[in-house]
Amino acid sequence: MLISETFSVAIPIKILYEFLLDAKQVGLCIPGCESVEIVGENEYDSIIKAKVGIISTKFKVRTLIEETVPNRLIRTVGHGKEQRNLGQFKQKTEIKLKSLSENETEVSYQSEVSIVGRLATFGDRIMKSKAKTLGKEFADAVKSKLK
């Protein structure tokens, strides 16, 4: 399943890039993220809670920053396991940054996510719309953090 979104923030590209590499800071902006732990160079563990209607999930997520191009690109891979065995996911994400002006940056991300397990029975429709909502919340949180 492909999830992609583009948004712009009134933040200079360099500041935004540094921010996105700071896992602890990013973790505070991810909706439902309860904790972020640095487990290695460019490798992080996090606990993320998400709710779809009456279904509550809690994921243990491992993320590795695979590649970076300063002020241009951040590529991550990762996987997550739901704590009550509702499913697992794998992800590959590419975040691209583009300077629109001195104080404005365009962020576009593309995530390839594959889900297995009981959660997958809900199918793309719920996951995608939930991802859209979460993506927007993340963008808003980043904007307000860097204001």
Nearer to other proteins, 2 or 10 (CB): 2
Cβ count within 10 A of residue 70? 12
The answer to whether residue 116 forms part of the interface with other proteins (CB under 8 A) is no
Q: Choose which of 115, 119, 139, 142 interacts with other proteins (CB under 8 A).
A: 119
Q: Does 130 bind other proteins (CB under 8 A)?
A: yes
CA angle 27, 30, 36 (to 5 degrees): 25
Rounded Cα distance between 127 and 10, Å, is 29
Interface stretch with other proteins, choices 17-25, 30-38, 51-59, 102-110 (CB under 8 A)? 51-59
To other proteins, the closest distance from the beta carbon of 52 in angstroms equals: 6
Q: Is 136 in the site for other proteins (CB under 8 A)?
A: no
Report the candidate in 61, 55, 78, 4 with the shortest Cα–Cα distance to residue 27: 61
Q: Which two tokens stand for residue 20?
A: 């996105």
Task: Mark residues 65-84: x for contact with other proteins by CB under 8 A, - for none.
Answer: -------------------x
**Residue of the chain from 40, 41, 54, 102 that contacts other proteins (CB under 8 A):** 54
The dihedral region occupied by 3, where left means phi > 0, alpha psi between -120 and 50, and beta the remainder, is: beta
* DSSP character at residue 86: S
Q: Which residues bind other proteins (CB under 8 A)?
A: 52-55, 84-86, 118-119, 121, 123-126, 128-130, 132-133
